[in-house]
């Protein structure tokens, strides 16, 4: 068998077996104190570590970085920022009650 090249001129082979949780090939870093905050990075692969999903990403500025999935736009805000039909009905009822005061 041939020897693997480790020089920078030869691109690294990317992991081909992605996790089923990989929804897209890119994410935006959203953690407020991360140096790549607001930047879109390519997801190479994901793994579970300590009960959390960790993404291995490629960044133009920092090279390969590892970030928690919760630090990216891949994780939706609680309830997606939307109310359910029941929540809207309760809000309507509350607004009507407040109008009558």
Q: What is the model's pLDDT at position 87?
A: 77
Q: What is the model's pLDDT at position 12?
A: 54
In degrees, to the nearest 5, what angle opens at C-alpha 33 toward C-alphas 29 and 38?
A: 30
Q: What is the model's pLDDT at position 44?
A: 95
Say if 15 falls within a structural domain: no
CATH number at residue 31: 2.30.30
Q: What is the model's pLDDT at position 99?
A: 83
Domain containing 43 equals 21-76
Say if 49 falls within a structural domain: yes
Question: CA-CA distances (angstroms) from residue 74 to 5, 40, 68, 99?
Answer: 34, 11, 10, 40
Say if 35 falls within a structural domain: yes
Q: What is the model's pLDDT at position 22?
A: 44
| Residues 91, 88: Cα–Cα separation, whole Å | 5
Say if 10 falls within a structural domain: no
Say if 27 falls within a structural domain: yes
Say if 89 falls within a structural domain: no
Say if 6 falls within a structural domain: no
Say if 100 falls within a structural domain: no
How many independent structural domains does the chain possess?
Answer: 1
Q: Profile the chain (101 residues) by mean pLDDT over runs of 10 residues.
A: 51 48 76 91 93 92 91 73 76 84 68
* Burial environment of residue 36 by CB neighbours within 10 A (0 to 12, 13 to 18, 19 or more): buried
């Amino acid at each position: 068998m041939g020897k693997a090249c480790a020089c920078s001129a030869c691109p690294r082979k990317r992991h081909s077996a992605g996790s089923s949780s990989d929804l897209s090939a890119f994410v935006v870093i959203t953690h407020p104190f991360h140096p790549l905050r607001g930047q879109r990075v390519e997801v190479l692969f994901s793994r579970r570590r300590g009960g959390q999903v960790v993404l291995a990403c490629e960044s133009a500025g920092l090279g390969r970085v590892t970030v928690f999935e919760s630090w990216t736009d891949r994780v939706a805000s609680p309830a997606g920022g939307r109310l359910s039909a029941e929540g809207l009905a309760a809000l309507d009822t509350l607004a009507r009650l407040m109008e009558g005061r």
